Amino acid sequence: MRPKRILILGGTGLAREAAAALLGRGHHVMSSLAGVTSQPHLPEGDVRIGGFGGFEGLTKYLQSETFDLVVDATHAFAAQISRHAAAAARSTDTELIRLQSLAWTALPPDHWTDVADIDAAIASLGLGQKIAVTVGRKDVAKFFARVDLSGVARMIEPPETVVPPQWHVVLERPPFMFESETAFLRAHGAAVLVCKNAGGMRPAKLDAAAALKLPVVMIARPEKPVVNVVGSVEELLGSLAQAR
Ligand code: NAP
């Protein structure tokens, strides 16, 4: 197969896996990171960091770099970049494949409330509840804004807003183990865990919540444009081999 010039829109573990696998097959890979974390896990191969400047910027970038393929391997909740990628790929006639793992599903004895978005998650919480939130630094401000709520918010980088006194912020990055997740939820006395349905391998926090009989508010993924989707790096490699 002729080596392809591939742009991976990344910022996820799956994107790093894809970069390594595609390089291993002899393709030319450029990974793109948003630049939102100060010490990102870097993928193998070439990397560019920072936004493109919206749809127009990404379109210009695709025109000047002439990629054969864009792999949108961004996080399931990174909706804007996926919209820009779909529109820019269409306008430059560049092939686009989204690499996105399956959403998590509740298994007995999970006790989940599925909600549509962050606002619905907040609306679902009882008055004065103590919660553990793992929704990332961008979305945590809305929880802080509800003055009756308290608890712990875990994220990789500090939040952009002031942390109210009834909240603890824990700065940590995955991977997390079952024992430490159980200890984390216990230590902060959380009565509910709120998280985004990122998908992929079931994380230890869900098993820890189930073991502690803790209810989980699970935020559904935002809509993304309809494009070709593969669920794994193996499937991505398979679709490239077919396209040869
Ligand atoms: P977003 O809302 O979809 O995108 C916001 C802006 O960030 C985009 O318009 C784009 O800027 C820039 N951007 C996003 N991903 C980029 C990439 N891979 N390369 C270059 N620029 C990118 O995204 P987000 O939710 O802020 O997430 C930012 C990054 O963090 C994503 O790459 C995502 O994979 C990763 N991430 C997100 C979450 C989450 O919960 N949202 C969790 C883990 C990791 P321009 O318009 O200037 O091009």
Closest CA to ligand 1's atom 14: 34
Query: Does residue 243 have a pLDDT over 90?
Result: no
What residue ranges define each of the domains in the chain, with the CATH number in brackets? 5-102+223-242 (3.40.50.720), 112-219 (3.40.50.1980)
> pLDDT tier at 16 (50, 70, 90 boundaries)?
very high
Residue nearest to ligand 1 atom 13, measured at CA:
34
What tens digit of pLDDT does each residue of 81-135 get? 999 999 999 999 999 999 999 999 999 999 999 999 999 999 999 999 999 999 9
Query: Is it the case that residue 37 has pLDDT exceeding 70?
Result: yes
Ligand 1 contact, 35 CB (< 6 A): no
Instruction: Report the chain's mean pLDDT, rounded to a whole number.
Output: 96
**C-alpha distances in angstroms, 198 versus 45, 77, 152, 172, 184?**
25, 7, 19, 17, 20
Q: Is the CB of 31 under 6 A from ligand 1?
A: no
Amino acid at 193: L
Q: Give the whole-number percent of the chain exceeding pLDDT 70.
A: 100
75 lines ligand 1 (CB under 6 A): yes
**H runs (alpha helix) in 10-161:** 13-24, 54-65, 79-92, 118-123, 141-144
What pLDDT score does 244 carry?
A: 59
**pLDDT at residue number 1:** 76
CB of 9 within 6 A of ligand 1: the answer is yes
Q: Is 12 in the pocket of ligand 1 (CB under 6 A)?
A: yes
Nearest CA to ligand 1 atom 34: 74
150 Cβ closer than 6 Å to some ligand 1 atom? no
Give the per-residue pLDDT at 11.
96
Residue 80: name the closest of 52, 45, 48 by CA.
52
